[in-house]
Structure 1
Amino acid sequence: MTSFLAATALSFAVIFVAELGDKSQLMALTFATRFRAVPVLLGIAAATVVTHAFSVGVGYLLGAAIPTFWISVVAAVAFVGFGFWTLRGDALSEDEEKKGDATARSAFLAVAIAFFLAELGDKTMLATITLATQYPGGGGVTGVWLGSTIGMVAADALAIILGRVLGRRMPEKVIRIGAAVLFFAFGVWLTAEAFLAA
């Protein structure tokens, strides 16, 4: 499998899982109750394209400057941290919930701006940076950007659909625990990879 395809597939899986139960997925649910689904999804996609391009650029620069063993160890620790972060869960503050009622004339702009700001420093952004350090080549970096972008948009599309169909009766605890277990598994896998390659 080429580094582009491997990076795309892994990034899709990791970011899709990272987004489950995340604050921005809760924002997608909230926006879907106030606006039509299409502008919400397009706003999410626009913000994700920009945020993840920035994240991949940062990860690429870090990956070129740090030895592979330490990148893998730090990535493993980061994914274990993401697992604990996911178990803790995210909740929207009153301020963030009110962003859905923003006076912006366009739902697209309101969603895009809110998502861009929410993603800065969020675990999906940090996970994308971490993934980009694992694929320093041009095709791998492009794959990380494409996979992470599609993974986040797909997870938020799922939130929009579920939010519209099921209301707010999703089993959040089960989603959080499942996502956390997958993060721990990614952490163990990266640790094993680091020590086997050393």
Structure 2
Amino acid sequence: MLEAFTASTLTVAIAEIGDKTQLLALLLAARFKNKTAIILGIFIATVANHFAAAWLGQWATDFVSADTARYLVALSFFAIALWVLVPDKVEAEESSLYRFGPFLATLVLFFIAEIGDKTQVATVVLSARYDDLWMVVMGTTVGMLLANVPVVIAGHFSADKLPMVWIHRGTAVLFAIMGIATLLWH
């Protein structure tokens, strides 16, 4: 139980650094003054998005054998390890959703930006790996908040000041290690 939460938190917190949703959080923080509304929008969008992803991970494991699931989960971790090496970008165009204020704009934009994102895919994989939907959802949500709340609070801070190449490489190694551990887990 604690392992699922901890692994989910660390995986998403690290994978989110430099991700398009983190860049979106930076844009929203620059656009709106109400940081609490932005953080609440990120929280609710993440819970909804990651609950659906974790549910999908749990559901998918019902259709394959335990060994097949293990190989698919390991393969997914290796694929994410490669995917994380490709940095994300977010378009800085003005959204018509901004007129609805910081909370609704953040909620909708963040939810949509997370669809098919590597952290959403990681949530599916983590849920299939740990078979503990709530701990995975709570962990991935905490990880998302750990990566994004500081960006929202310090909205003027730029991600280009971080050693992104090394962060992406470290994240790729983390996912590769999780893939290896999954292959070794019986």
Say whether the fold is shared (TM-score over 0.5).
Answer: yes
Name the structure 2 match of 1:104.
Answer: 99
Hey, what's the Cα distance between the residues in 1 that align with 2:94 and 2:127?
31
Hey, what's the Cα distance between the residues in 1 that align with 2:64 and 2:154?
41
Q: Which residue of 41, 46, 49 maps to 1:48?
A: 46
Q: Which residue of 90, 93, 96 maps to 1:92?
A: 90
Hey, what's the Cα distance between the residues in 1 that align with 2:53 and 2:163?
30
Hey, what's the Cα distance between the residues in 2 that align with 1:33 and 1:170?
18
Structure with the higher fraction of residues in helix conformation = 1
Name the structure 2 match of 1:24.
Answer: 21
Q: For the Cα contact (< 8 Å) 1:72–1:191, is it kept in 2?
A: yes
Report the CA distance between 1:103 and its aligned residue.
3.8
| CA deviation vs aligned residue, 1:127-171 (integer Å, no higher than 9, x gap) | 1111111233xxx22111111111112111133345434575333
Q: For the Cα contact (< 8 Å) 2:12–2:140, is it kept in 1?
A: yes
TM-score by length of 1: 0.84
Name the structure 2 match of 1:14.
Answer: 11
Q: For residues 167 and 88 of structure 1, do their structure 2 counterparts lie closer, same or farther at Cα, with a shift above 3 Å needed?
A: closer
Structure 2: 5+ residue stretches without partners: none
Report the CA distance between 1:174 and its aligned residue.
2.4
| CA deviation vs aligned residue, 1:34-54 (integer Å, no higher than 9, x gap) | 123222211111100100111
Question: What code does the residue aligned with 1:115 have?
Answer: F
Question: What code does the residue aligned with 1:127 have?
Answer: A
Hey, what's the Cα distance between the residues in 2 that align with 1:167 and 1:7?
28
RMSD, aligned CA: 1.9
Structure 1: 5+ residue stretches without partners: none
1:38-187 counterparts in 2 under 5 A? 38-93=36-91, 97-99=92-94, 102-136=97-131, 140-161=132-153, 163-165=155-157, 168-187=160-179
1:190 aligns with 2:182: yes
Q: How many pairs were matched up? A: 185
